Amino acid sequence: MKEHVTPLITAEAINKRLKELAAQISEDLGDKTVTVICVLKGAVIFMVDLARLLPMPVEFDFMDISSYGSGTESSGNIKIDKDLENTIEGKHVLLVEDIIDSGRTLSHLIKHLRAQNPASLRLCTLLDKPERRVVNDVSVDYEGFVIPDKFVVGYGLDYDQRYRNLPYIGVLHFEE
């Protein structure tokens, strides 16, 4: 089976939106130290680029949570493969995710983080696919782009660990 990618969101559009998101976050949080939690691996590029634009002190932590495996559909089986290294109790937390699809993974993750008593917990996602949502208890504070129900890759997002290095976001197509 042959694959190809067609651009959906350009690198220029991503960079412009990153600046807007950073300005919103800065306005909301002021000069408070922010603990940025990156959901591995897809959100790494987004998180790094966003964090470099934030003017306040920033701490990083990482989580690895999976529900996809190697396919293009969520399995619905949510597993935390790597939890936080540091406590978030009493801290201002910005959870950075690459994409919200069904909402199952983030719903699970947000409950997990809230149980640790952060001072505040905000969610920033690069991409949102609202028409795929099956769990509606996820509130997005900062949203990069709303996209159609297509399988996307690039700018950190992958298909079977490939395409993460594309500087744009594209739709992955399969051909026989």
Q: Can you tell me the distance from the alpha carbon of 89 to that of 115, in angstroms, rounded to the nearest whole number?
A: 9
Q: Are strands 58-66 and 142-146 parallel, antiparallel or unpaired?
A: unpaired
**Distance in angstroms (rounded) separating the CA atoms of residues 74 and 160:** 13
Other beta carbons within 10 Å of 47: 26
Q: Are 136 and 156 in contact (CB under 8 A)?
A: no
Provide the H-helix boundaries in 117-162: none
- Selected catalytic residue, list 28, 61, 83, 101: 101
- Could you confirm whether 158 is annotated as catalytic? no
Q: What is the Cα–Cα distance from 108 to 39, expressed in whole angstroms?
A: 13
Beta partners for 92?
A: 34, 120
106 conformational bin, left if phi > 0, alpha if psi -120 to 50, beta if neither: alpha
Residues carrying an active site annotation: 101
